[in-house]
Amino acid sequence: MKIGKYNFDLENDPIIMGILNVTPDSFSDGGKWDNIDAALKHTEDMIRDGAKIIDVGGESTRPGYTLISDEEEISRVVPVIEKIKENFDVPISLDTYKNNVARAGVEAGADMINDVWGLKWKDRDMADLVAKSKAAVCIMHNKDNISYSNYVEDVLAELKESIDIAHKAGVNDSQIVVDPGVGFGKDYEQNLLIIKYVDRLKELSYPVLLGTSRKSVIGLTLDVDKDNRMAGTVATTVMGYERGCSIFRVHDVKENYEALMMAKAILNA
């Protein structure tokens, strides 16, 4: 898969996407990296530790988050994207579901849009931007309720709806990654199940991104707070890789990268 100018063999080489939240209120690391110098230092550390993509987010999507204006989100992410591009040779993903923010991000140098609403937010105009810009896009499963008739089949069907939106706008299959949306539109048991059956997403014939890092499903399972969920995250990374996932969006890059490389060595032995 090509993300910007970068080529990835995701069938054979799983990769880590390092999370860079430039927000004051993200559930796990809000306020840590919301100035340029701190963001650049953290980016440098994540690349050194094995991250192959940096995912920049300017609005928290934690439960109960506060919606901010497009202008505020743009003011948070664009300077960081520009500075990362000036200082590092790494593809940048922009974590946003808002068309105006995505447009500004792509103009600033973002190579990928990570859309937590799977191209379904409001006017559904994100797909047009992706098609015109040729940026890669991660299409995540999400909905505003947890009602399902046949859970895993419904998730697949709803992801297919998002993919149809992409196709109708002219997005190429080569641009698309899919994400099961752990923590979004799902209760605790549903989150466990979609991780267990994440291999079913391979039926869609796209690379699969898994984002479980420090999420509530880990906290609830292990009875630990947000600062003590690294081991649980690493477990999901290894299990996700065994089930066919290719990209792993994480906070703790070094630990997840090393676990992923160990799992890869064993499976390829």
Q: In sequence order, what are the residues at sequence separation of 6 or more whose Cβ sits closer than 8 angstroms to the Cβ of residue 155?
A: 141, 148, 180, 181, 194
Beta bridge partners of 114: 95, 138
pTM: 0.94
Q: In sequence order, what are the residues at sequence separation of 6 or more whose Cβ sits closer than 8 angstroms to the Cβ of residue 165?
A: 119, 120, 124, 127
Q: In sequence order, what are the residues at sequence separation of 6 or more whose Cβ sits closer than 8 angstroms to the Cβ of residue 36?
A: 79, 80, 83
Q: In sequence order, what are the residues at sequence separation of 6 or more whose Cβ sits closer than 8 angstroms to the Cβ of residue 47?
A: 18, 54, 88, 90
Beta bridge partners of 93: 55, 112
- Return per-residue pLDDT of the chain as tens, 269 residues: 999 999 999 999 999 999 999 987 544 544 455 689 999 999 999 999 999 999 999 997 766 667 889 999 999 999 999 999 999 999 999 999 999 999 999 999 999 999 999 999 987 899 999 999 999 999 999 999 999 999 999 999 999 999 999 999 999 999 999 999 999 999 999 999 999 999 999 999 999 999 999 999 999 999 999 999 999 999 999 999 999 999 999 999 999 999 999 999 999 99
- Residue 103, domain extent: 13-210
- Count of domains observed in the chain: 1
Inside any domain, residue 72:
yes
Residue pointed to by tokens 């970068």:
6
Q: Rounded distance, CA 154 to CA 183, Å?
A: 16
**Which pLDDT does position 65 carry in this prediction?**
61
- Strand bridging mode 247-250 / 15-21: parallel
Q: Rounded distance, CA 211 to CA 114, Å?
A: 11
**Which tokens in the block code for residue 68?**
């901010």
Inside any domain, residue 243:
no
Q: Are 122 and 160 in contact, with CB atoms under 8 Å apart?
A: no
Q: Rounded distance, CA 150 to CA 128, Å?
A: 31
Distances (CA, A) of 15 to 87, 135, 256: 21, 18, 10
Inside any domain, residue 200:
yes
Query: Is residue 186 helix, strand or coil?
Result: coil
Residues forming the active site: 215, 249
Q: Rounded distance, CA 70 to CA 197, Å?
A: 35
**Which pLDDT does position 110 carry in this prediction?**
98
Q: Rounded distance, CA 110 to CA 137, Å?
A: 11
- The kind and range of the H/E element at 144 are none
Inside any domain, residue 223:
no
Inside any domain, residue 264:
no
CATH of residue 76's domain is 3.20.20.20
Inside any domain, residue 185:
yes
Inside any domain, residue 222:
no
